[in-house]
Amino acid sequence: MTMRRTRILIIDDDRLIRWSLRQKLEALAYDVSEAETGAAGLRAAQDLAPDLVLLDMKLPDAKGTDILEELRKSWPDLPVVMITAFGVIEDVVTAMRRGAYDFIAKPLEDAKLQNTIRHALEAAALKKKIAAYREIEQKKFVPDQIIGQTPVMVQLLGMVRKIAESEASIVLLQGESGTGKDLIAQTIHHWSRRREALFLAINCSAIPENLLESELFGYEKGAFTDAKHQKRGLVELADEGTLFLDEISSLSLPLQAKLLRFLETNTFKRVGGLRDIDVDLRVIAATNQDLERLCREEKFRKDLFYRLNVCPVNLPSLSERKDDILPLAGYFIAHYNKKFNKNIQGLEKSAEKLFLHYAWPGNVRELKNAIERAMIFEEDAFISPQYLPIRLNEPASSASPPSSDAPSAGSLSLPEAEKKMVVQALRQARGNKSEAARLLGISRDTLRYKLKKINLG
């Protein structure tokens, strides 16, 4: 299947200009069409759906700026490059205000023409990607993902809504791993006036230090060896939206200083750049660390902590909201029923008791993973303790009473049950050992050992 060539429409009454442009652009593998009047150009745009329009400023039947306005009404994202006589500044200003991407002056220079077209097409493609990403993210987020009926969660969600509807530009989320900081960050975005703009997230601990500044602030062409083109960073792309900085405590001290300057001024420079760029966005930072302790240990800047701590939100651990455990389990069972095409109706009573007695050090994330794992193996209508991670069968503390409904070994011996679970995990992971190990809640090395033990290694 051959890919469709990029379509360019030339609207110009000068036959020689059109011929010259066609020769140059077809040599660059563009699919070129022509029109000599504004009316013909609008009809051609309707018929051809071009990817870019080269539009002369002066046409026999209309001003180029008027045709530009008509094009923008029907195709607001279509890049239009104006062709103008050298020095006609007033017309150029009008065209740019009405949405022209750029202009090129006669006589047309090959290098300027090629660069302008390439940049216009790249900008349009980026716009489409952002629009598609926004649509995916909005579909992905559903407010009822937040399960919380305990007083502490009701109070938390009330605070989150107030923050979301306010103009607070900086929010700090603090809580243990797995408490749902990323979900709360998305909730703040989707309950705010910024919901139509982008929500972009970055895990500060997952990107090497030497790349993180470029990811955040972008870079100029030639800023370093591999910087062959200008790149916009997440701060710039999230303009008018929300930027979520997860694991903020992992930032190096020099990068903390640059982040602080940005938060105080709402301006930044791309790496290798000289010009300050203004943006308007909300920054949500998250951490599972005690930032005040890190400040005392001089691992985190005090001034940055004070700047971030304007609107702190502390997320409770799952052990602080035990009445939410079973509703959360029910939510995740429904989720994985759809994903795995199953019809599990809930937890057995003995499994419910295990869930309520367990301490959940990994919080909601650990509960979700436990349900996912059990759903893969369970073949009956209710999840039994047999397929839950072994650690769930351990009491939360010495004070936790053992369950009177604790499962027996059943019809399978322990080695047989273990072999069955390993085989099913591998089947579910389609032979991917890393994924199978994740599903089983063990390391890849442990899985290798178990495979050898059951003669499957």
User: In this predicted model, what pLDDT tens digit does every residue of 22-58 receive, in sequence order?
Assistant: 999 999 999 999 999 999 999 999 998 899 999 998 8
Specify the domain boundaries for CATH 3.40.50.2300 within the chain: 7-132
Distance of CA 446 to the CA centre of its chain: 33
Q: How confident is the model at residue 302, as a pLDDT?
A: 96
- CB of 143 closer than 8 Å to CB of 190: yes
Cα angle, residue 336 at apex, residues 333 and 341 outer, rounded to 5°: 120
Please say whether the beta carbons of 137 and 201 come within 8 A. no
Average pLDDT over residues 302-320: 95
Question: In whole angstroms, what is the distance from residue 240 CA to residue 139 CA?
Answer: 20
Specify the pLDDT at position 356.
Answer: 93
Residue 143 vs residue 85, higher pLDDT? 85
Q: For residue 282, how many other CB atoms are within 10 A of its CB?
A: 26
Given CATH 3.40.50.10210, say whether it is the number of domain 157-316.
no
Q: Looking at the domain 317-408, which fold is it?
A: Helicase, Ruva Protein; domain 3 (1.10.8)
How far apart CA 120 and CA 81 sit, in angstroms, is: 8
User: CATH 1.10.8.60 spans which residues of the chain?
Assistant: 317-408
Nearest to residue 310, comparing CAs of 253, 251, 264? 264
Distance CA 446, CA 453 (A): 11
Cβ–Cβ under 8 Å, residues 318 and 365: no
- Is a pLDDT exceeding 70 seen at residue 398? no
Fold of 7-132: Rossmann fold (3.40.50)
More confident: 425 or 114 = 114
227 vs 292: CA distance, rounded Å: 38
Where in the chain do CATH 3.40.50.300 domains reside? 157-316
Mean pLDDT, rounded, for 214-240? 88
Q: In this structure, what is the dihedral angle of CA atoms 420, 423, 426, 430, given to the nearest 10 degrees?
A: -120
What phi and psi, each to the nearest 5 degrees, are found at residue 320?
Answer: -90, -5
State the DSSP H helix or E strand holding residue 35, giving kind and residue range, or none if neither.
Answer: strand 31-35
pLDDT over 90 percentage in the chain: 60
Of residues 379 and 128, the one with the higher pLDDT is 379
Strand, helix or coil at 33? strand
DSSP-assigned letter for residue 49: -
Global pTM reads 0.62
pLDDT at position 304 over 60? yes
Check residue 209 and give its pLDDT.
Answer: 84
> Was domain 412-457 assigned CATH 1.10.10.60?
yes
CB 10 within 8 A of CB 19: no
Residues of CATH 1.10.10.60 domain(s) within the chain? 412-457
What are phi and psi for residue 204, nearest 5 degrees? -65, -20
Q: Which tokens hold the place of 199?
A: 């929500």
**366, 368, 370, 373: CA torsion to nearest 10:** -130
